Amino acid sequence: MTIARSVSLFVVAALFEIGGAWMVWQAVREQQGWLWAGLGVLALGLYGFVATLQPEAHFGRILAAYGGVFVAGSLTWGVVLDGYRPDHYDVIGASVCLVGVAVIMYAPRRR
C-alpha cells in the first residue's frame, strides 16, 4: 500500500469521525434532532472500520498517528462548517501534529 493510499484512508477516517461527532454535537447542542444523532453514531462506527484498512498491523501506532490527523482535521472542519478562524498557535500545533503523523507512520524502520 502506498503512502498516498494510507493518507487517503486517514482523510476518509477523519471525515467519518469528525463528521459523526459534529452531527452528534449538532443534535445535542443545536437541537437538530435524533436523526442527526443517529447518523452521527453511524458515521462514528464507520470510522472504526476505515481505520482497520491501514496497512500497519499495530493498533496503537494507527490510533496514535490518527490523533494528529484528528487535530488538524477538526480545525479544518471548524473553518469550513462553523466559521472558526484558527490563530497562528492553532496552525502551528496542527502542523506539529501532522509532522508527528508522518514520523509515526512513514519513517523508515528496520523490519
Residue 27: predicted pLDDT? 96
Distance CA 15, CA 7 (A): 12
Whether the per-residue pLDDT at 103 is higher than 70: the answer is: yes
The 10s digit of each residue's pLDDT in 7-48 is 999 999 999 999 999 999 999 999 999 999 999 999 999 999
Percentage of residues in the chain having pLDDT higher than 90: 87
Please compute the mean of the pLDDT values over residues 65-89 and round it to a whole number. 95
pLDDT top residue among 41 and 56: 41
The 10s digit of each residue's pLDDT in 2-11 is 889 999 999 9
Q: Is 72 left (phi over 0), alpha (psi -120 to 50) or beta?
A: alpha
DSSP codes joined into one string, 35-69: HHHHHHHHHHHHHHHHHTTSS---HHHHHHHHHHH
pLDDT-derived band at 56 (thresholds 50, 70, 90) equals confident
Residue 1: predicted pLDDT? 53
